[in-house]
Every structure is written in C-alpha cells, then in structure tokens.
Chains A and B, each alone.
Chain A
C-alpha cells in the first residue's frame, strides 16, 4: 500500500473544471480544493448535474474542461486499485440481483486491499464488523441483503464504503431511504471520521450530494451550488448558502432564520 499523502496535500482539487452532457453545459469553469478534515456539500435542483460532477470527482468520467487531482495527482497517474484505496464512492442506487449475506456484501469493500489471489482474512472481517456496528447493523451479518428494507440496504452500502476505508469519501445522496435518526447519525459519523475520529486518527475528507439544505448548512464546511443552468457558486458554506442564491438555484423563495446559533432555511 502506498503511504497516504500528508495532511498538507489537498485530498481533492479541481482546476477550471467544466462539465458537458451532450450539448448542454452543466457547470461553467470553477475550482475547488478540499483539505483533510473538511466536508463539502454539493447542492442543486434535480438534473443540475450533481451526480455527474461527483462521478467526475471520483475519476469515473473525464472532465470536459479542466483537471481533477486526488492526493496531488491526476487520476491518470493512479493505478485503479491504489485510487480505490484513496477515494471511495457511494453510488445513488444499489443494485442487488443475487442473494448474498450482509457480511459478504460489505466484504466487497475490502477488494482494493486484497491481492489478485488474496482471500479476506479475519482482519478484513473485523473491519467489516466494525463498519456494520458504525451504521447500527450489528447482528445483521448473516441476513440476506434481499430481505432488508430500503434504509437498511442503504446502511449496508455505507458500511461497504467504510470497509473500503478510503481517505476521500464521495457520497451520492447518502441519506436516501434513511429515517431522521439515521440521517443525522450518518452525517455525524462522517463528520466524526473526517475530523480524524476514526481508530487510525487520520483526517479524511467527504463530498456529499445532499437534498436537505438545512442538513447541508449544519454539516458542510464548503458548498458547491449548481443552479441547473450552467451556473456554479463554490466556496465557504456561509458565502454560498445565502437565501438569494439558494432561492435562485432551486427556483423557490427561501428565507433564512437563525435560532439558537443554528441557521435554518424555510421555503416560503
């Protein structure tokens, strides 16, 4: 395994990034820089290109203009498995066509840590059991994933990503199907891990596609707001999460309130 980049190198950088789908520009050129210990929220209306942007940041599609680097290097300079140990993606949908136990499913996350002929060891299983405990699924190891509820499956997917143990988490709507308790618990968990609260004490980074503006206001350090017409605002949370910008992007008037030190946006 390669030595993890030090805290000084940004986990994720994008320079002059612009994305196009067909003839439509999803976002004009913008730049971002995510250091260890930070959370970045991607906000925007349906179809604005949040998932496309996240996949570009994950190196799964090339940028149409500009450059994406993780750990200081462009994706082209990363062997696929090494990149998979550095950044992990939680896709928006989880396909399950064949029966498999929860334990088997989450062990898939250990793939980049094993050699071509390697089998999962007891250590990998311990990592998986910790990941399951982190998402409140202890005791579910032997359950068939096809028998789980939507929220439980989403937490299995999150546990799989935790088992992958990347330094950079790219989460596409991680709160899908989750009830209120697990929405907060999931965001708390990732903030805790990002801040260096995991067992290894390494600070990590997270990019989250979120639909809940108020949860974004509570957990994000930086925000990228796509307006769906090619416009992008990127920066510190408070400079982006202004009611006039949000109202314009979502096409619905929003009002900002402060209550007990917490910022809340309420739709008119």
Chain B
C-alpha cells in the first residue's frame, strides 16, 4: 500500500516499457525498418515495409506480449492461491497436457491450426483431469491439488519423451522448438489478447480478496471472503489463461515464475498493483526476449524460452541478493 502517486508512476513506466518493447519488436529483424516507417505501416501504408510489419512482425509481437502477460498473471494468481512462492502457471500440469496435444499434431505433420487446437484441448484435458482427481471426496486441499498437478505433469512429460523418441528426425526439431516456446508460428494473437484483457477484468475485482487470502484461509473467511468460490474461480481462470498462453507460443518457462516475484520485490505484495504490473512486465519481458531471440544470431532464431531464462535468472538473483540486505 505504497503511496498512490508511486503506483501510478510505476504503472506508467511499465506501460511505456511495454510500448517501447513492442515498437522495437516491429522495427528490428533481418530487414531493419525505421521508426517512421513502422508508424506509417501501423497506420496502413502500402509497400514491403508495411507488409512485413503488419503481417509478420505485428502478430508475433502481440503474441509474445500477450503470452508473457498471460503467464505472469496466471503465475501471480497461482502463487497466492497455493501460498507457495515456487508455484508457476504450469504447476497444475496444464503445460504438460498442452505439450502432449501439440506434439501429437506435430508428429502427424498436421497444419499449424491443428497444433494450436490440440494444444488447447490438451491443456483443458489436463486441467479437468487435475481438478477432477484432486476433488476426490469433495474437499480438495492445496496439497492434493499440487500433488495431482505434479503427477499429471510427470505423466505428460513421459508421453512427450516417448513421442520425441518415436518421431522422425525432421519433426523432432519443430517439436523441440514448440516445447521451448517458439513464437515464429504465431499468426493469430488477437483471441489471446481478448483472453488477457477479459482475464484481468475478471481478476481485478477480487484482487483485495486475494490480499486477504494471503493471510490464510481462516483469516480470509473470518474477514468475509468466500474462500471456496474465490479459489475455484481463480484456479479455473488462471488455468484458462495458461492454456491460452501455451497455445499461442508453447510452454515458455520462467516468465510465470519469475515476473511475479520481480514485481513483488519491487512493488510489494498488494495484488491490486501486483497483478496488472505483472501482466505488463511479463509481456514486456517476453517481447524483448523474443526480439532478441530472432536478432542476436540472425538469421538463426533461438527459442524464446531459452532467452527468457538467460535474462530472467540473473535479474532475479540480483534482486533477491539486494533484497536480503
């Protein structure tokens, strides 16, 4: 509950950083495009620059931004719900289910749209499986939910390994890229953006309830929070956000775990600030990482998941070390 002015300032700075990251993503690449041309292209100019910006770079930039925002939001929510700093959006096995679905499609050489469709279906299946199994006698506990998620993820991991072992060499490359998070095929980012906006709009009214829940279930119930409905609703919502993210560009690691912690270290643990700030920071980080991934050793492209880890780990360790003092 820092001063209001500071919060507004930080939010504005994050929004600005996000905008800069997006513009850089549109300008940088094999064929650098000047800023004025980028803005002209966004305004609808004809010509090659306009085509590249609008049809190649914009969908990819939006997809990475949205994916980062989705993962960071889902991670922040999961960490409070499970009251576990190690929780990330994948902890309930959602990315595992998505990976199985996507890899089946890739192994069969299906079209990109089928990869997305099966990834989303796999994520939803894993989510329903985890909630169904963890529900058991009607009173699911965090421990059981966590364990069920971990076990389902382990099962999916084995299935992924099996498919990698069986797939032909030509397909393994694209399967590995999907697993590490690969934005090069992201062509339809707009539904994801809608999910992000709607998801944030659904979470924000309950952000203070989440603050109360961070003080434990008993305290929250005594303070008038309907813990059961809040938990269930937010688990499902965070799972849907995660499923959307992995469908967009695969299971990118670290963003969902590290970004909420970065924001928490910088801004404190008030979810009303943390969640929107994490969405902006996650989007910015992933956009920057993806732009770097396709430019540093161009024309070769790195999987964006590798870059997020390379950027995220040292930043996180630095902040953690500084915080302890």
Q: Cβ of B1: which chain A residues have Cβ within 8 Å of it?
A: 103-104, 107, 120
**Closest approach, in angstroms, between the C-beta of A218 and any C-beta of chain B?**
27
Q: A89-B222, A97-B83, A120-B1 are in contact. Are A111 and B214 (CB under 8 A)?
A: no
Binds A, one of B13-21, B156-164, B177-185, B263-271: B263-271
Q: Judge whether A91 and B223 touch: CB under 8 Å.
A: no
Q: Judge whether A84 and B224 touch: CB under 8 Å.
A: yes
Q: Judge whether B223 and A84 touch: CB under 8 Å.
A: yes
Q: A80-B224, A98-B264 are in contact. Are A91 and B269 (CB under 8 A)?
A: no
Q: Cβ of A116: which chain B residues have Cβ within 8 Å of it?
A: 205
Q: A104-B1, A120-B1 are in contact. Are A112 and B218 (CB under 8 A)?
A: no
Q: A104-B268, A107-B1 are in contact. Are A81 and B205 (CB under 8 A)?
A: no
User: A105: CB under 8 A from chain B?
Assistant: yes
Q: Mark B212-241, 1 if CB is under 8 A from A, else 0.
A: 101110110111111000000000000000
Q: Cβ of B270: which chain A residues have Cβ within 8 Å of it?
A: 104
User: B84: CB under 8 A from chain A?
Assistant: yes
Q: Judge whether A164 and B223 touch: CB under 8 Å.
A: yes
Q: Cβ of A95: which chain B residues have Cβ within 8 Å of it?
A: 83, 215-216
In the complex, A116 Cα to B225 Cα: how many Å?
Answer: 11
Q: Judge whether A112 and B224 touch: CB under 8 Å.
A: yes
**Closest approach, in angstroms, between the C-beta of B258 and any C-beta of chain A?**
15
User: B295: CB under 8 A from chain A?
Assistant: no
Q: Cβ of B125: which chain A residues have Cβ within 8 Å of it?
A: none
Partner of B269, one of A58, A99, A112, A117: A99
**Closest approach, in angstroms, between the C-beta of A12 and any C-beta of chain B?**
14
In the complex, A108 Cα to B269 Cα: how many Å?
Answer: 12
Q: Kindly report which residue of chain A lies nearest to residue B204, judged by CB atoms.
A: A117
Q: Cβ of A60: which chain B residues have Cβ within 8 Å of it?
A: 218, 221-222
Q: Which of A105-158 contact B (CB under 8 A)?
A: 105, 107-109, 111-112, 114, 116-117, 119-120
User: A248: CB under 8 A from chain B?
Assistant: no
User: B54: CB under 8 A from chain A?
Assistant: no
User: A88: CB under 8 A from chain B?
Assistant: yes
In the complex, A93 Cα to B85 Cα: how many Å?
Answer: 20
Q: Cβ of A117: which chain B residues have Cβ within 8 Å of it?
A: 205
In the complex, A117 Cα to B1 Cα: how many Å?
Answer: 14
Q: Judge whether B85 and A98 touch: CB under 8 Å.
A: yes
Q: Kindly report which residue of chain B lies nearest to residue A103, judged by CB atoms.
A: B1
User: B208: CB under 8 A from chain A?
Assistant: yes
User: B301: CB under 8 A from chain A?
Assistant: no
In the complex, A101 Cα to B208 Cα: how many Å?
Answer: 16
Interface residues on chain B, number (Cβ under 8 Å): 26
Q: Kindly report which residue of chain B lies nearest to residue A60, judged by CB atoms.
A: B221
Q: Kindly report which residue of chain B lies nearest to residue A99, judged by CB atoms.
A: B269
Q: Cβ of A105: which chain B residues have Cβ within 8 Å of it?
A: 215
Interface residues on chain A, number (Cβ under 8 Å): 37
Partner of B214, one of A81, A97, A109: A97
Q: A104-B268, A104-B270, A120-B1 are in contact. Are A98 and B214 (CB under 8 A)?
A: yes
Q: Judge whether A101 and B224 touch: CB under 8 Å.
A: no
Q: Cβ of B224: which chain A residues have Cβ within 8 Å of it?
A: 79-85, 111-112
In the complex, A7 Cα to B242 Cα: how many Å?
Answer: 53
Q: Mark B247-274, 1 if CB is under 8 A from A, else 0.
A: 0000000000000000010001110100
Q: Cβ of A107: which chain B residues have Cβ within 8 Å of it?
A: 1
Q: Which of B178-199 contact A (CB under 8 A)?
A: none
Q: A60-B218, A95-B83, A95-B215 are in contact. Are A111 and B268 (CB under 8 A)?
A: no
Q: Kindly report which residue of chain A lies nearest to residue B270, judged by CB atoms.
A: A104
Q: Cβ of B223: which chain A residues have Cβ within 8 Å of it?
A: 84, 88, 108-109, 111-112, 164
**Closest approach, in angstroms, between the C-beta of A177 and any C-beta of chain B?**
16
User: A245: CB under 8 A from chain B?
Assistant: no
Q: A98-B85, A101-B268 are in contact. Are A108 and B219 (CB under 8 A)?
A: yes
Q: Cβ of A164: which chain B residues have Cβ within 8 Å of it?
A: 223
In the complex, A93 Cα to B219 Cα: how many Å?
Answer: 10
Q: Cβ of B226: which chain A residues have Cβ within 8 Å of it?
A: 80
Q: Kindly report which residue of chain B lies nearest to residue A116, judged by CB atoms.
A: B205
User: A214: CB under 8 A from chain B?
Assistant: no
User: A94: CB under 8 A from chain B?
Assistant: yes
Q: Kindly report which residue of chain B lies nearest to residue A95, judged by CB atoms.
A: B216
User: A100: CB under 8 A from chain B?
Assistant: yes
Q: Judge whether A100 and B268 touch: CB under 8 Å.
A: yes
21 chain-A/chain-B pairs, Cβ below 8 angstroms = A58-B222, A60-B218, A60-B221, A60-B222, A80-B224, A82-B224, A84-B224, A89-B219, A91-B216, A95-B83, A95-B215, A97-B84, A97-B214, A98-B269, A103-B1, A109-B223, A111-B209, A111-B223, A111-B224, A111-B225, A160-B219
Minimum-distance CB pairs A-B, first 10: A84-B224, A89-B222, A81-B224, A95-B216, A80-B224, A91-B218, A112-B224, A98-B269, A111-B223, A97-B83
Given contacts A103-B1, A160-B215, list 6 more A-B pairs with CB under 8 A: A94-B215, A94-B216, A97-B214, A111-B211, A112-B223, A164-B223
Residue ranges of B at the interface with A (Cβ–Cβ < 8 Å): 1, 4, 83-85, 205, 208-209, 211-212, 214-216, 218-219, 221-226, 264, 268-270, 272
